[in-house]
């Protein structure tokens, strides 16, 4: 069974290193036979989560669009920037909106529906020496709380501003191989969980 994966970065920045890493993971998933889609969170702007806003207008339109893509997917490849030892506010805000109930909150309307039963693989890229690895345990915990099975392997790319060639591919074949193997593991797990 072909797994449907979404690859995205927790950064909206045009030249985001994590977008480059998410694209590499997307390519790896495609090579592994998955039906993978790269999405750019910059195409899904949403306000900072606010309970009064939600009570007055419900889930923002772009969050609903993104939610629909999550519902159709079996797994996620998330390249997550590290800000102050934590995931980016963009990624957390996206998770927060997409974990809210819509409508009657039942079945596919549940806040867990976009997450529960899916596989995920985590990556991080940073110009720093640790590659953003310090926040990944927390991201793992957040996703596990939503019912996502996060594969054990993860990839953090230090000095990431030097890691990508002009055409976007990872210059270090050892790191490129880690990304391919993570994408393959997520595709395999996602297919199993879907079945």
Ligand X SMILES: Cc1cc2nc3c(=O)[nH]c(=O)nc-3n(C[C@H](O)[C@H](O)[C@H](O)COP(=O)(O)O)c2cc1C
Interacting residues toward ligand X by CB under 6 A: 9, 11, 13, 16-18, 81-85, 126-128, 130, 132
Name the strand (E) or helix (H) holding 119: strand 119-125
Q: Answer for the pair 46, 53: CB distance below 8 angstroms, yes or no.
A: no
- Residue number, 9 or 78, with CB nearest to ligand X: 9
Report, in Å, the least distance between residue 90 CB and ligand X. 9
Token pair, residue 65, equals: 């669009």
- Residue number, 138 or 194, with CB nearest to ligand X: 138
Q: Answer for the pair 121, 183: CB distance below 8 angstroms, yes or no.
A: yes
Token pair, residue 92, equals: 């957390």
Report, in Å, the least distance between residue 11 CB and ligand X. 3
- Residue number, 40 or 101, with CB nearest to ligand X: 40
Q: Answer for the pair 154, 123: CB distance below 8 angstroms, yes or no.
A: yes
Report, in Å, the least distance between residue 51 CB and ligand X. 25
- Cα 180 to Cα 92, 137, 154, 167: the distances in Å are 26, 21, 11, 17
- Residue number, 127 or 188, with CB nearest to ligand X: 127
Report, in Å, the least distance between residue 156 CB and ligand X. 9
């Amino acid at each position: 069974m072909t797994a449907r994966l979404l690859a995205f970065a927790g950064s909206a920045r045009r030249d985001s290193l994590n977008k480059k890493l998410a694209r590499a993971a997307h390519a790896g998933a495609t090579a592994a036979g998955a039906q993978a889609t790269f999405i750019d969170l910059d195409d899904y702007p949403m306000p900072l989560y606010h309970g009064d806003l939600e009570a007055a207008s419900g889930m923002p339109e772009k969050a609903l669009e993104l939610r629909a893509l999550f519902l159709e997917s079996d797994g996620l490849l998330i390249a997550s920037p590290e800000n102050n030892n934590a995931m980016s506010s963009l990624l957390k805000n996206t998770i927060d909106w997409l974990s809210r109930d819509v409508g009657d909150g039942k079945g596919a309307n549940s806040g867990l529906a976009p997450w529960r039963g899916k596989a995920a693989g985590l990556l991080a890229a940073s110009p720093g020496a640790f590659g953003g690895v310090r926040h990944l345990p927390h991201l793992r915990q957040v996703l596990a709380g939503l019912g996502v099975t996060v594969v054990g392997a993860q990839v953090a790319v230090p000095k990431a501003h030097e890691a990508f060639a002009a055409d976007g591919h990872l210059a270090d074949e050892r790191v490129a191989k880690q990304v391919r193997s993570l994408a393959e593991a997520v595709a395999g797990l996602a297919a199993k969980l879907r079945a």
